[in-house]
């Protein structure tokens, strides 16, 4: 089975600490790399964890609070200085292009590579990418400013070839294309060999939902339903529920309730307020409602 995993680069909320960087995650989907949010210091985290920034061809920014994008300008210019030539696909709100353009204008920077913008919609779901292997959809969250979550879904691949069976039934490799799409094969002797004798079912597809800054918001349930992994912010513990509501953030209890109602398989908590030095109480609050809960820890990889 091909890789489908995230590396946690930042787990903090608005104010970074010595232990937590602002929001950023890197998704490896079959050796295609998607950077999701890019808080301050993200490029240093990429270097620290030996992740090659040149392999990142897609960046997704959930919203325009600084802890989710202020690392982007530095990363874009480092890619430029290090000789990037291939295009970079940036999924964001239109206002981010204005910010990037004015920064480059006043620093007299002309990037060596093209940024191809694909704008998210703060009011309704939008399909951002759809190819043979993966689809990405944005969907609205409920935050103080416009904010989107992202759903990544693998596409089902072709049937898997059993090499030993090809030899046993004397089937030429020229028949492999037919077998992958479910057809029977003709062997070297002209006999028809049933597909089921030569192949196995494709790998199970997987999905990852990313919900950055949002208050408790059940409107997202249809968009994240049955996800293999849900990342949901949990800025506060429930004793600060009033603070969470006034700032349009969630508690660990909120995140666990959403995970339970969405019937996801695993919940990942992050975006912790700097007031909490110890993250373990977030687990204690979430697990009675949703047992399969993990804490986002910087540098760790979470397989999906």
Which sequence positions are flagged as catalytic?
A: 67
> Tokens representing 212?
């950055």
Return the beta strands (E) in the chain as ranges: 4-10, 24-29, 32-36, 56-60, 88-92, 115-119, 126-130, 134-140, 148-154, 160-161, 185-186, 192-193, 199-200, 207-211, 229-233, 267-270, 293-295, 301-303
Give CB contacts under 8 A, 24+ apart, made by 285-289: 285/237, 285/238, 285/251, 285/252, 285/253, 285/256, 286/234, 286/252, 286/253, 286/255, 286/256, 287/256, 288/256, 289/253, 289/256, 289/257, 289/259, 289/260
Alpha-carbon span 296 to 121, nearest angstrom: 27
CA atoms within 13 A on the CB side of 113: 20
Distant-in-sequence, close-in-space partners of 106: CB < 8 Å, separation ≥ 6: none
The structure tokens listed for 181 are 């799409």
């Amino acid at each position: 089975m091909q890789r489908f995993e995230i590396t946690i680069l930042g787990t903090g909320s608005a104010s970074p600490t010595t232990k937590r960087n602002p929001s950023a995650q890197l998704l490896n989907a079959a050796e295609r790399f998607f950077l999701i949010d890019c808080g301050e210091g993200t490029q240093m985290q990429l270097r620290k964890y030996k992740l090659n920034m040149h392999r990142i061809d897609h960046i997704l920014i959930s919203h325009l609070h600084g802890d989710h994008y202020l690392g982007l300008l530095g990363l874009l210019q480092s890619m430029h200085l290090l000789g990037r030539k291939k295009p970079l696909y940036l999924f964001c709100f239109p206002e981010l292009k204005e910010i990037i353009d004015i920064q480059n204008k006043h620093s007299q920077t002309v990037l060596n590579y093209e940024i191809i913008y694909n704008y998210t919609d703060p009011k309704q779901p939008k399909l951002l990418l759809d190819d043979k292997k993966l689809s990405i959809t944005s969907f609205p969250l409920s935050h103080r400013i416009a904010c989107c979550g992202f759903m990544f879904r693998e596409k089902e691949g072709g049937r898997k070839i059993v090499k030993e069976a090809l030899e046993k039934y004397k089937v030429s490799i020229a028949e492999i294309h037919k077998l992958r799409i479910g057809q029977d094969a003709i062997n070297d002797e002209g006999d028809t060999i049933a597909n089921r004798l030569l192949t196995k079912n494709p790998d199970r597809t997987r999905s990852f939902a990313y919900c950055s800054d949002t208050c408790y918001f059940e409107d997202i349930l249809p968009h994240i339903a049955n996800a293999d992994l849900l990342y949901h912010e949990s800025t506060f513990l429930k004793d600060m529920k009033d603070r969470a509501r006034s700032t349009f953030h969630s508690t660990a209890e909120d995140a666990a309730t959403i995970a339970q109602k969405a019937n996801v398989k695993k919940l990942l908590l992050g975006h912790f307020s700097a007031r909490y030095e110890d993250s373990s109480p977030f687990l204690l609050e979430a697990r009675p409602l949703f047992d399969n809960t993990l804490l986002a820890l910087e540098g760790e990889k979470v397989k999906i």
